[in-house]
Amino acid sequence: AQSVTQPDIHITVSEGASLELRCNYSYGATPYLFWYVQSPGQGLQLLLKYFSGDTLVQGIKGFEAEFKRSQSSFNLRKPSVHWSDAAEYFCAVEGNTPLVFGKGTRLSVIA
């Protein structure tokens, strides 16, 4: 079965600064990869997904992620963070079983 590691529990960035959230997965083949965002008291919203093809994927709200097979990674990036981006971010992987989530990274944005 697949597994996901998000090494950063909490990240704080200044508004307008760039952001990169790390995600590493373990799976014997190329899985489906996802990033979801959860705002306080809300459900999960899909930011972006990778199934196959172009390894750089664009998502909503100006986010992008790059699949690197050699590093088993799918890091999330945004060039300029807005205060409204403060939330919990979950990387998830789907292989031969349903979605498995990482432990999440909490993003705080300061002025």
Partner 1 sequence: SAVISQKPSRDICQRGTSLTIQCQVDSQVTMMFWYRQQPGQSLTLIATANQGSEATYESGFVIDKFPISRPNLTFSTLTVSNMSPEDSSIYLCSAKRGKVDTEAFFGQGTRLTVV
Q: How many C-alpha atoms does 66 have within 13 Å on its Cβ side?
A: 6
Give the CA radius of gyration of the chain.
Answer: 13
Choose between 15 and 22: whose C-beta lies nearer to partner 1: 22
Q: At 87, which helix (H) or strand (E)? A: strand 87-94
**Considering only 10-18, 31-39, 65-73, 75-83, which stretch makes contact with partner 1 by CB under 8 A?**
31-39
Q: How far is the CB of 100 from partner 1 (least distance, A)?
A: 7
CA–CA separation, 6 and 18 (whole Å):
18
Decide if residue 87 touches partner 1 (CB under 8 A). Answer: no
Return residues touching partner 1 (CB under 8 A): 32, 34, 36, 41-46, 49, 51-52, 90, 94, 98-104
